[in-house]
């Protein structure tokens, strides 16, 4: 389920970038920034890297649904925290910042994804909303320290996923 949400967002962003230029290569890649052995992944150079850094249940939604009306119990509502990082070499630094800015503009224009406006959205979801999360430099430093990578231009989004209730 989480992978479907990430793939949908990644595909949406890559379709946007491909519509803006003649480049056939993906601009956004869903990946961790570091390999398990602590080395930097080879596949993420000159890309916007979309990484899941936290997953939490949206407990406030649990209280608003009557489990007696649901055959399978209460549907799960999740918050995913996505770190979008401009992982560009020095010569392409400005391009990375431009692409990160473009993504922020895309999500500002379209903070809500639902099946009516995005029929290709995974059938498990009724909607997804995105909001930028402002972090202090200290909090951002803690994230980069936990990742084990050098700080790079990045933005954090909270993605709320509403699941379809199975009756």
CATH 3.30.2000 for domain 2-163, yes or no, is: yes
The predicted model scores a pTM of: 0.88
The residues facing 77 across adjacent strands are 162
Contact present, 163 and 128 (Cβ < 8 Å): no
How many other C-beta atoms are found inside a 10 Å radius of the C-beta of residue 161?
23
When pLDDT is averaged across residues 105-109 and rounded to a whole number, the result is 97
92 band by pLDDT with thresholds 50, 70 and 90:
very high
Tell me the domain boundaries of the chain.
Answer: 2-163
Share of the chain above pLDDT 70, in %: 89
When pLDDT is averaged across residues 20-38 and rounded to a whole number, the result is 91
Is it the case that residue 40 has pLDDT exceeding 90? no
**Nearest CA among 80, 83, 96, 95 for reference residue 144:** 83
- Spell out the alpha helix ranges (H) of the chain: 2-20, 59-62, 93-109, 137-147
Give the separation between CA 136 and CA 117, rounded to whole angstroms: 34
């Amino acid at each position: 389920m989480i992978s479907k949400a990430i793939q949908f967002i990644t595909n949406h962003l890559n379709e946007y970038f491909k519509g803006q230029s003649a480049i056939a290569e993906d601009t956004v890649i869903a990946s961790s920034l570091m390999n398990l052995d602590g080395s930097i992944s080879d596949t993420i150079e000159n890309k916007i890297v979309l990484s899941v850094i936290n997953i939490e249940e949206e407990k406030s939604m649990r209280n608003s649904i009557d489990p007696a009306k649901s055959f399978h119990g209460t549907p799960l509502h999740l918050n995913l925290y996505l770190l979008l990082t401009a992982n560009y070499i020095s010569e392409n630094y400005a391009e990375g910042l431009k692409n990160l800015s473009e993504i922020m503009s895309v999500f500002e224009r379209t903070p809500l994804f639902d099946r009516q406006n995005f029929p290709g959205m995974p059938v498990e979801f009724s909607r997804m909303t995105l909001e930028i999360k402002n972090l202090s430099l200290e909090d951002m430093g803690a994230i980069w320290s936990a990742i084990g990578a050098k700080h790079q231009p990045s933005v954090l989004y909270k993605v709320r996923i509403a699941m379809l209730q199975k009756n």
